[in-house]
Structure 1
Amino acid sequence: MKVLSIDVGIKNLALCLLCKSANNDTDMRWGILKWDVVDLTQKNDEAKCCEVDKFKICNKSAKFTKDGKYFCLKHSKKQQFKIPTSDLKPAFINKQKIQALYEMADKYNIKYEKPIKKQDLVFLLNEYVQNSCFEVVGNTNASKLNLVTIGKNIQSKLDSILEEHVTTINIVAIENQISPIANRMKTIQGMIAQYFIMRNPNIEIEFVSASNKLKEEKKDSKSTYTERKKLGIKKCLEIIQNDFIPEWTDVFNNHSKKDDLADSFLQGIWFIKEKIEKIEK
């Protein structure tokens, strides 16, 4: 049996594929087949310039992107979009005082009516950047990445990682997104579920509450997000070192996103104990 546990994210989508198989021909135990964190803002392959020169695709490394197309520095200069300068970045615009915003709007011929509130002028400038400027390749803002691109990256990333397993996975446990401000994440949750439905029509999909991951631990109800993350890392390391899968200890310890790895692993372990082993008993 194979159980895939997924902790939903855009830049940090964590997955842990667990498999129950025979150990020494007698003991049936759970082991890890795949354990990784995926960035859905990036494609698998290096982005290449899509422009055509003398009947040949340029294919040089892309520096900028817009509307799903990629351009090298040379060909980006031939497009209608601007290469973003330091003052054409939302982080810079949002920090400016009203007088500086007036000057920027005039510089880029952005029309506005006086008097205008600072927040409205900031909105107009950011809208101008979004509509008129390239995005730098490799510097993607997850909150602004369109859902079509995310959907395509879900397909390419999961196809690559789960290629030899996707048709044999029995159950996918996906972290349920319930926050009122998580509409975007809820959509991505559904896109992930649809991916598996299309790849494996016989698969079973369960949406799991995030609170289950540390249910067995005694937690202070007032504990912070950071404290819960640290507790998850500690519990995960304890399990893989002591009584589960020690060969994955180095992988876990050397990973930069231990908290996300721990979330996907602990969710998978909880699901196996509560939804599979209890029923089997």
Structure 2
Amino acid sequence: MKVLSIDIGIKHLAHCLFDVSDTLRIVDWDVIDLTDEYVCACSKPATHRFHQTYTCKKHTYPELSLVELIAQCTGRSIPLGTKAEMKTRLFKEVKPIPPPTLVDLGQQIMKRYARFSEVDVVLIENQIGPLASKMKSVQGLVVQYWLMRGAKVECISACNKLKLFHSGKTTYAQRKKLSIQYTQVMLEQNGLVTNFSSHKKKDDLADTFLQGVWYFQINNCGLLKINCS
């Protein structure tokens, strides 16, 4: 059985794909950026478009010498002038890339999840509250995608992730820190080899992992050692 645990986000859409049989393996554990359809030559997500060239914030307005400015303007039939005039005329065509629409996000979701050939159960952290309206829309897209793929989908309350390990009130920052700590301990206890320690978004990865652990525990899978006291 393949179980995919998802933490909703637009720039940080995290997932942990578990392979559950006699043992438990983590098959794929990563964070997806749904906004990086266009990429700068430096490999960073693009923020601006200059004709058919996409650039990040750093490379949108590069420092050009007078010779380079003349060459760029001549190549685009832009009138020459002083360095300042040519720079203004040249970069007049630079346009910011608009935020992705729901259609854009839906297309990216389809594209990114297509590589998961078989998924039986999908766990999605439920988005609540008036401030989460955009994330709720993304959650709806993800739910719809996996329902159409024939998976069993369950929306899970965020409060469940730490229930097995911690009780009492905590702040958002404390919960993030605890999630990372408990995940590290469980990976070591169960001998799971992953990319967790080197990943930049440990907090999002931890959320998907602990959500999966909670699901396995309440369904009596009993495949993981849980001792984080």
Residue 159 of structure 2 aligns with an amino acid whose one-letter code is S
Given that 1:18 and 1:33 are in contact with CA atoms closer than 8 Å, whether structure 2 keeps it comes out as yes
| Equivalent residue for 2:203, pick from 238, 244, 259 | 259
Runs of 4 or more, structure 1, over 6 Å off, are none
| Equivalent residue for 2:146, pick from 179, 187, 196 | 196
The C-alpha deviation readout for 1:86-120, integer Å capped at 9, x for no partner, is xxxxxxxxxxxxxxxxxxxxxxxxxxxxxxxxxxx
The TM-score normalised by the length of structure 2 is 0.71
| Equivalent residue for 1:211, pick from 152, 156, 159 | 159
Kindly state the Cα deviation for residue 14 of structure 1 after the two structures are TM-superposed. Answer: 0.6
Share of identical aligned residues, percent? 38
| Equivalent residue for 2:181, pick from 221, 234, 255 | 234
| Equivalent residue for 1:181, pick from 111, 126, 131 | 131
The C-alpha deviation readout for 1:106-149, integer Å capped at 9, x for no partner, is xxxxxxxxxxxxxxxxxxxxxxxxxx97215xxx7xxx432121
Instruction: Tell me, in whole angstroms, the C-alpha distance in 2 between the residues paired with 1:20 and 1:37.
Output: 21
| Equivalent residue for 1:155, pick from 100, 110, 116 | 110
Residue 29 of structure 1 aligns with an amino acid whose one-letter code is T
Instruction: Tell me, in whole angstroms, the C-alpha distance in 2 between the residues paired with 1:252 and 1:65.
Output: 34
Cα distance 1:71–1:226, how it changes in 2: closer, same or farther (>3 A)? same
Task: Tell me if 1:134 matches 2:95.
Answer: yes
Q: Which residue of 1 aligns with 2:215?
A: 271
The TM-score normalised by the length of structure 1 is 0.59
Kindly state the Cα deviation for residue 63 of structure 1 after the two structures are TM-superposed. Answer: 7.7
Runs of 5+ consecutive residues of structure 2 not aligned to the other structure? 55-59, 62-92, 223-229
Given that 2:6 and 2:123 are in contact with CA atoms closer than 8 Å, whether structure 1 keeps it comes out as yes
Instruction: Tell me, in whole angstroms, the C-alpha distance in 2 between the residues paired with 1:158 and 1:169.
Output: 10
Given that 1:6 and 1:16 are in contact with CA atoms closer than 8 Å, whether structure 2 keeps it comes out as yes
Residue 274 of structure 1 aligns with an amino acid whose one-letter code is I
Kindly state the Cα deviation for residue 37 of structure 1 after the two structures are TM-superposed. Answer: 0.6
Q: Which residue of 2 aligns with 1:146?
A: 101
SS of the residue corresponding to residue 40 of structure 1 reads: coil
Q: Which residue of 2 aligns with 1:14?
A: 14
Given that 1:177 and 1:189 are in contact with CA atoms closer than 8 Å, whether structure 2 keeps it comes out as yes
Residue 205 of structure 2 aligns with an amino acid whose one-letter code is L
Kindly state the Cα deviation for residue 46 of structure 1 after the two structures are TM-superposed. Answer: 4.4
Given that 1:64 and 1:71 are in contact with CA atoms closer than 8 Å, whether structure 2 keeps it comes out as no
Aligned Cα root-mean-square deviation (Å): 2.8
